[in-house]
Amino acid sequence: MGDLEIDQPDSAFIQSPQHRPKSSIIIPHGIPLIDLSPVNYQDETITTTTASLSIQGLVKEIGEACKEWGFFQVINHKVPLDKRERIEESARKFFGLSLEEKIKVRRDEVNFLGYFEAEHTKNVRDWKEIYDFNVQQPTFIPPSLEQDFQFKWENRWPQNPPEFREACQEYAEEVEKLAYKLMELIAMSLGLEPNRFRGFFMHNTSNIRLNHYPPCPYPHLALGLGRHKDTGVLTVLAQDDVGGLQVKRKSDGEWIQVKPIFNSFIINVGDMIQVWSNDGYESVEHRVMVNSEKDRLSIPFFLKPALYTDVKPLEELTNDGNPPKYSTINWGKFRSARMQSNFTKSNVDNLQIYDFKLSL
């Protein structure tokens, strides 16, 4: 398979804002590592007139990472470590409960949020258990789309552990701030105004998933998660020190092992950015390998737009020489079709953005 591993930097380097990487790609063959120190202490929206040279350099790094990899890691991101540690501890307690206790909040065909086990996924090779919750409650469904949404968007909070809900909500609030800041930087890297994407998330459908991968006695027969691309806008992933994430390198198709870096987040471009950017930034395949000895915990935050959002190539990024490559995708209907397919046995593949590709 030709997997490559990246070296882990010294933790002192990671924690020090003064030591900024000279280049985004500082680890041979690994996904780019980017220091967010230049925007650590800017709570307001970045503006093109106030962007410092250090922020401009950061924008360039992120643009190159999105274009060349579709993935990068960030350090000095301002998400409090204690919030992350608290949700990880709560998740481990929840997954450590008996199955009888966990299935009290099991998802079903009406409400897709909550707990579910690997055998309830469409891909039986996936070796994991999951808990999903929406970041924004309640999720706004406009009247024009209500007939297409015959299911609920209600979080199912377990009673145990007692601190679980609060830990999840506090973490969600912090990581959402990071996602919005990253979207400002991505917008600038595309030559857009920093707040260009913000309006798409007023009634967002963003969610967080707690992934637990138990030790697998037959790692050659299963994957923690099969190869796939993320359908949303942007993913902000926290993973523990066990690792297992692999990214398909665009340059040669090799699967690259992403070795964990303490207190970092792994960021990847989703399908909707690929459409908005008119293929300028591509959503990239990735997968998770299982471990025969250790269990693994990962916590992805999926930034997703409002259900009523019509996603199409942005006018600012298209012209006669670069015409739109996609027809309009209504996010609500696209998301609904994808979620319904989780419970439908079919020989037809899930709806994909290439189904909206225009013939040029």
Please report the pLDDT score of residue 46 as a whole number: 66
Q: Is 257 helix (H, G, I), strand (E, B) or coil?
A: strand
Please report the pLDDT score of residue 336 as a whole number: 82
Tokens 């999903």 label which residue? 132
Query: CA separation (Å) from 202 to 99, 197, 206, 295, 303?
Result: 36, 10, 11, 37, 12
**One digit per residue, pLDDT tens: the chain, 360 residues?**
333 333 333 333 333 333 333 333 334 458 999 999 998 755 566 665 556 788 899 999 999 999 999 999 999 999 999 999 999 999 999 999 999 999 999 998 888 899 998 653 444 456 789 999 999 987 777 777 766 666 677 899 999 999 999 999 999 999 999 999 999 999 999 999 999 999 999 999 999 999 999 887 766 656 667 788 999 999 999 999 998 899 999 988 999 999 899 999 999 999 999 999 999 999 999 998 877 788 999 999 999 999 999 999 999 999 999 999 999 999 988 988 887 765 554 444 678 999 999 987
Q: 340: which 2 tokens?
A: 């319904």
Please report the pLDDT score of residue 216 as a whole number: 78
Tokens 């998933």 label which residue? 209
Rounded Cα distance, 224 and 245, in Å: 9
Please report the pLDDT score of residue 219 as a whole number: 64
Please report the pLDDT score of residue 67 as a whole number: 97
The Cβ-side half-sphere exposure at 69, using a 13 Å CA radius, reads 24
Please report the pLDDT score of residue 222 as a whole number: 61
Q: 272: which 2 tokens?
A: 């909707």
Q: Which fold has domain 23-356?
A: Jelly Rolls (2.60.120)
For 177-312, where are the E strands, in sequence order? 207-213, 225-228, 234-239, 245-248, 255-257, 265-269, 286-288, 296-303, 310-311
> Distance of alpha carbon 178 from its chain centroid, rounded?
12
Query: CA separation (Å) from 343 to 108, 119, 122, 133, 340?
Result: 9, 12, 7, 18, 6
Rounded Cα distance, 266 and 74, in Å: 7
Q: Are 262 and 14 in contact (CB under 8 A)?
A: yes
Q: 359: which 2 tokens?
A: 């013939």
Q: Is 1 helix (H, G, I), strand (E, B) or coil?
A: coil
Please report the pLDDT score of residue 347 as a whole number: 47
Q: What are the two backbone dihedrals, phi and then psi, of residue 118, each rounded to the nearest 5 degrees? A: -60, -40
Residues 6+ apart with CB under 8 A from 159: 104
**DSSP conformation class of 347:** S
Please report the pLDDT score of residue 49 as a whole number: 58
For 14-128, where are the E strands, in sequence order? 33-35, 71-75, 114-117
Rounded Cα distance, 7 and 258, in Å: 10
Please report the pLDDT score of residue 150 as a whole number: 63
Q: 256: which 2 tokens?
A: 């690259």
Rounded Cα distance, 125 and 289, in Å: 11
